[in-house]
Chains A and B, each alone.
Chain A
Amino acid sequence: MSAILPPQERVWWKQPLDRVELIWIVVALIWCLIMFFMMPYWHIYGQQNLSNEAYRSKPEDFVRKTEAMIAQYKVREDGGDLKVPVVRPPAGSDVYMVAQLWRWYPILELEAGKSYRIHLMSLDWLHGFSLQPENINIQVHPGYEHVLTVTPTNPGTYSIICNEYCGINHHTMVSRLYVVK
């Protein structure tokens, strides 16, 4: 009998197991269950969970909400000739960020230790929100508004790069995010 021949016994289901297999199956099963329950555990006791809050949204509606926020909370412009608005919304407010070919819009200035409801959506293709060097990575869809409550911890200048391939200028889709005290 070998793995490339049919089993010799007509009934092989009742063969006894060797101890090595039995112990390993039990140990591996316990480990699998631990890994499974880590996920619900983290939802209850952990701090880093992706939000389940999402809506269908139209690009023009999302742009309207973004522009309204910029008009209200714009503090300056950044990026030299690019003149990207920098927005400093109050803590706890709804903050909007547009992903489109090939930019993130606007730039946010957030306060460390405060929470914000960030709405992320793409206007055209798929994009990838990748906050560096923090290394938080979230998929951004066109037509789906994703609402995340984020609490920046340390002040500093962060980068948002696109990490979902979005065409020829994908690698130019990079922006900033400021966290201040």
Chain B
Amino acid sequence: MSVNRMFRTCPTSGLVFHEPAEKLMRWNAVAAVVSLLIGGLLAIGVVLTRWQAVHLLPPDRFYQYLTAHGLNMLVFWIIFFEIAVLYFAGSTLLKARLATPKMAWAAFWLMVLGALVNNYSVLRGDSSVMFTSYAPMGAHPTFYLGLILFAVGALIACFVFLGTLVVAKAERTYHGSIPLVTFGAVTAAIIAIFTIAAGAIILIPTFLWSVGLVPTIDSLMYRTVWWAFGHSSQQINVSAHVAVWYAVAAIVFGAKPMSEKVSRTAFLLYILFLQLASAHHLLADPGLTSHWKIFNTSYAMYLAVLASMVHGLTVPGSIEVAQRQKGFNHGLFEWLRKAPWSNPAFSSMFMSLIGFGFLGGISGVMMGTEQLNLIIHNTLYVPGHFHATVVVGTTLAFMGLTYFLIPVLFRREITFPKMAQWQPYVFGLAMMGVSLFLMGAGTLGVPRRHWDIGFAGNAFAHEFPGAAWLMMALAGITGIIAIVGGGMYLLITVWSVFLGKKIQTPGFQHVRAKDGIAPAPKPVAAAIAAHHPGIGAGGMVAPGTFALAMVFLTAFVLYYFINWKYLSTVWPLK
């Protein structure tokens, strides 16, 4: 069996694509976008039902739509896209051939099959058990089977990625260490492998239980192990979208990491501690001690939060340094004012960074505090938080990367370029609104996954304050705007990829790597020095970023202690 060693070089970006890897990236990206389309259509039903003035769906449909929305968005859209990112970071950035393309195709088709089988089970109507599928509430066996098939496929894809690293090293396609973005992808792949292993530990027995081969599944055991899968799966996203931030900063600005040491150590802290935060979901559960809760919920003394705060500084910091070196060196914020705000790759990435930090990060740490969790557990605060992390953070970052990948990977021009300029703002700002309003409603006690907070016809109906109803209406309105923004993204990407103008490259061909298709990247003279004489202020190369970081820290500290104050007013409990 001969190994395909054919590559092409992208004329605009200089990136090198291995022929089979390129095809796999495309197909994984397409499968991701299809999942996003399904999840987005379902979101319409969810949003319009929880907006109580509309209250569109009956309860069975609502819970069914919500289950499928969660699975298609949180699992299928994101993991398919992440596999494409892994292949990009492994094969393209290392200029290496993808290890075992056949296995990668097997992985892809297993994932597609798993996603179809899982969606089928929810479509049947007897598996509206939510993304979490908490035993002893049971779903149809195909629900678990679909997830297991998908997970096995994703696991194979992770090992194809790791194999590609081995190939690249053996075939000496790069010198020294792997690029930082690839290192971020390694972090994501490692967390993914733990995630999938934890998923197997719990979903395989649950599948056997659903077909009658295992007598019972313990609810606490299920929740504990399931969250090692459910929460860690979202930590894959964090690692992946941070890697995408670094990639976009490098692609758009030619930014170099402020320090390889700091950024890579921050990723190492992710590898070691990020996954412990699965305990966030078990803080209000009986049977686990405060020792376990405090240690795990704080990622061992918040070392993974430290890592996120470091990335949150170094990504914009590296952009600031690059901009200042280009001459935007006046004052604190000229570099930011003169940033390419009409480039959707940049605007998506920057809003992803701000939204993830200010909304997702701060709220995540607040609700992951052992005692503070009492005042938000299972309220709409939780979906508010993760729409800031997974949607504003991950999804928006991935959307930004797509605008870069369509010309580079699919060799098509972006159709509707004006709409593409606006899309990140419509989607990002509306989704930030959704997050804020859901968090507001959650603070007022509104439960998540609830069909009717009006409790119509109930003898003990609870009356939520008017502010809660207002929050739900505002979340509904911003939710619809966000869906429109998502629709714009789908329209632009699908149209560009299938009907967009082909980018013609004279003399286009795939050639063997050893024939020297990849010109070695030219070192940028100015970027060599670790210190950057003549830029910045106050002895800092990135004073503007530092100022932003201080604003962030102030918001963080204030919000954190406001919630302790709030907690101190509720009933004493011990």
Direct contact of A and B (CB under 8 A): yes
Flag if A18 contacts B540 (CB, 8 Å). yes
Q: Which of A8-16, A67-75, A87-95 sits within the interface?
A: A8-16
Q: Which residues 361-405 of B sit at the A interface, judged by CB distance below 8 A?
A: 365, 369-371, 374-379
Which of B259, B314, B375 neighbours the largest number of chain A CB atoms within 10 Å of its CB?
B259
A162 interfacial by beta-carbon distance below 8 Å? yes
Are the C-beta atoms of B378 and A139 separated by less than 8 Å? yes
0/1 string, A1-21, CB within 8 A of B gives 1: 111111111101101111111
In the complex, are the beta carbons of B568 and A174 less than 8 A apart? no
Cβ-defined partner of B314 (8 Å) among A21, A120, A130, A150: A21
Complex CA gap A21/B532 in Å reads: 14
B137 interface residue, CB < 8 Å from A? yes
- Pair B574/A149 contact, Cβ less than 8 Å: yes
Indicate if A43 sits at the interface (CB-CB under 8 A). yes
User: Which of B347-355, B452-460, B488-496 faces chain A?
Assistant: B452-460
Check: A138 CB closer than 8 A to any chain B CB.
yes
Q: How far is the CA of A144 from the CA of B142 in the complex (A)?
A: 29
Residues of A27-53 whose CB lies within 8 A of B: 27-29, 31-33, 35-36, 38-40, 42-43, 46-52
Q: A residues 63-87 with Cβ under 8 Å of B?
A: 79-82
B45 CB within 8 Å of chain A: no
When distances are taken between beta carbons in the complex, the residues of chain A under 8 Å from B257 are 1-3
B303 / chain A contacts, CB cutoff of 8 Å: 32
Contact for A47 among B246, B298, B568, CB less than 8 A: B568
Name the contact of B378 in the complex, choosing from A40, A48, A81, A130 (C-beta under 8 A). Answer: A130
Q: Which residue of B lies closest to A138 (CB)?
A: B284
Q: B93, B285, B306, B459: which contacts A80 (Cβ < 8 A)? A: B459
**Residue of chain A at shortest CB distance from B263:** A3
A125 to B60, CA, bound (A): 18
- Set A130, A133, A168: member contacting B63, Cβ < 8 A: A168
Q: Which of A51, A130, A165 contacts B574 (CB 8 A)?
A: A51
Main SS of the interface on chain B?
loop
* Cross-interface CB contact of B553 among A27, A48, A126, A132, cutoff 8 Å: A27
Q: Given A32-B305, A48-B573, do A166 and B290 touch, yes or no (CB 8 Å)? A: no
Which of the residues A15, A46, A79 comes within 8 Å of B530, measured between beta carbons?
Answer: A15
B287 at the interface (CB under 8 A from A): yes
Find the residue from B137, B289, B528 having the highest chain A CB count within 10 A: B137
Q: Determine if B302 is an interface residue (Cβ-Cβ < 8 Å).
A: yes
Size of the B side of the interface (Cβ < 8 Å), in residues, is 112
B301 contacts which of A36, A142, A152 (Cβ < 8 Å)? A36
Chain A residues near B451 (CB-CB < 8 A): 170-171
In the assembly, what is the distance between CA of A80 and CA of B59, in Å? 25
Q: Is the CB of B459 within 8 A of A125?
A: no
Identify which of A2, A23, A33, A130 contacts B250 (C-beta below 8 A). A2
Complex: chain A residue closest to B253, CB-CB: A2
Interface residues of A (CB under 8 A from B): 1-10, 12-13, 15-21, 23-25, 27-29, 31-33, 35-36, 38-40, 42-43, 46-52, 54, 79-82, 115, 120, 124-126, 128, 130-139, 141-146, 148-153, 159, 161-172, 174-176
A-B contact pairs, 17 of them (CB 8 A): A1-B524, A1-B528, A2-B254, A6-B177, A7-B179, A24-B549, A31-B557, A47-B572, A48-B573, A131-B571, A137-B378, A139-B285, A144-B287, A146-B286, A151-B572, A164-B449, A167-B137
- Nearest 8 CB-CB pairs, A to B? A146-B286, A163-B447, A159-B462, A32-B302, A54-B286, A137-B377, A47-B572, A3-B246
